[in-house]
Amino acid sequence: MQEAQELATNTIGLADEDRPVESQNEATSSSMVVKKYKYWWIKIAVFTIFVLSGQSVAVMLGSLYFNEGGNSKWMATLVQTAGFPLQLPLLFMYLPSKTSPKQHQITTIQPPSRTTLFMLYMFLGIFLAADCMLYTLGLKFLPVSTYTLICATQLAFNALFSYFLNGQKLTPFITNSLVVLSFSSSLLVFQSDSEQSRKASRSKYIIGFVCTVAASAGYGLMLSVTQLAFKRILKSESYRVVFDVVLYQNMVASVVILMGLFASGEWNDIQGEMEGYKLGQVSYIMNLVWTAITWQVFSIGCVGLIFEVSSLFSNVISTLGIPIVPVLAVVFFHDKMNGVKVISMLLAIWGFISYVYQHYLDDLKEKGEAKIVNHEVDLVETRID
């Protein structure tokens, strides 16, 4: 979309002597813009499907792992990040051309030192590893539908931390989203004892609830800190810089989690866990493999949306998939969708819509300002003629 906008802008800004050529090629240029715009929408649709399907299937497989006899917290956490090499094709897909004017502009910015980059990647990687562990504990001790609904709060946490770290404005719609999403997760504390006993005891249910809320807060904070790092440290949001952050962050997280797997001693129990898995050893291996793959499908979709639109849009789309998992949990795991969960889901959807609507208004405002600027440019060019 940015390429299409730049092409239109360059067409408006042509010098007088180039205008006869512009008239001859006007139909061709217009066709190119339409073609690029359609191609952009196709990519957005594909990446959105990756996000929604990858997230839903990965969460369901993670819950299946614990339901059928899996017990290793570190192994369940490792598969969330260990498939990061699958993201490498994105590097070649989005690597800018050497002759790109954008690339030339980016290289004029003094890059941070290797020490600074190493410290940044280490911090983000360790942060991600801890956050993945919290998500794993939540998924282990909570029904998957409850877990997913609590995860909706990550959008509210992201908005809150962005207010303090990135100067995001708290408009009435954003504030409404924060309040509604908070109520949505708070309702899930009042689950019936029968619902809790299906997955864990009351104490473990509370641990799972606290861990999931903490994980959602951590994820929102990590997004805000990453955005701040792009602005203050990396000073760029080029394709290569964004890709490097995501790739090295997952790499460091995988190493940290793998160290935890060996240090905790859970590695010695993997063979016995595999043999005792209710669905069989092959199913155990396939569960872990496909969980790793689907999490990377989700990550590829998120990174693709960041490249094509923004990190905010990527987070919004991931939140959009929240109502999908509770429905799948009812169908495949026979989770009970009681009145509390229904109200919580409706509140989560309400908060999501309120959040998205505010950014829709912001987008309309930016487009309106752009039209005014373009109109003023046209007036100036007309006077010059």
Q: CB within 8 A of 354, min separation 6: which ones?
A: 173, 174, 176, 177, 180
Q: Structural domain of residue 228, as residue ranges? A: 2-101+112-384
CB 102 within 8 A of CB 306: no
Tens-place pLDDT, residues 286-309: 999 999 999 999 988 887 777 777
**371 located within any domain:** yes
pLDDT grade for 178, boundaries at 50, 70 and 90: confident
Q: Residue 106 and residue 235: Cα distance in Å, rounded?
A: 9
Q: Is residue 106 part of a domain?
A: no
Mean pLDDT of 50-62: 91
pLDDT value at residue 375:
62
CB 364 within 8 A of CB 164: no
CA 40: distance to chain centroid?
19
Q: What is the pLDDT of residues 89-126, one digit of tens each?
A: 777 766 554 434 444 444 456 788 999 999 999 999 99
362 by Cβ neighbours in 10 Å (0-12 / 13-18 / 19+) ranks as middle
Q: Would residue 72 count as lying in a domain?
A: yes
d(CA 337, CA 373): 52
DSSP 362: H
- Is it the case that residue 67 has pLDDT exceeding 70? yes
Residue-wise pLDDT tens digits, 309-333: 766 677 777 777 777 787 788 788 7
Report the number of distinct structural domains present in the chain. 1
20 inside domain: yes
> What pTM value is reported for the model?
0.78
Q: Is residue 107 part of a domain?
A: no
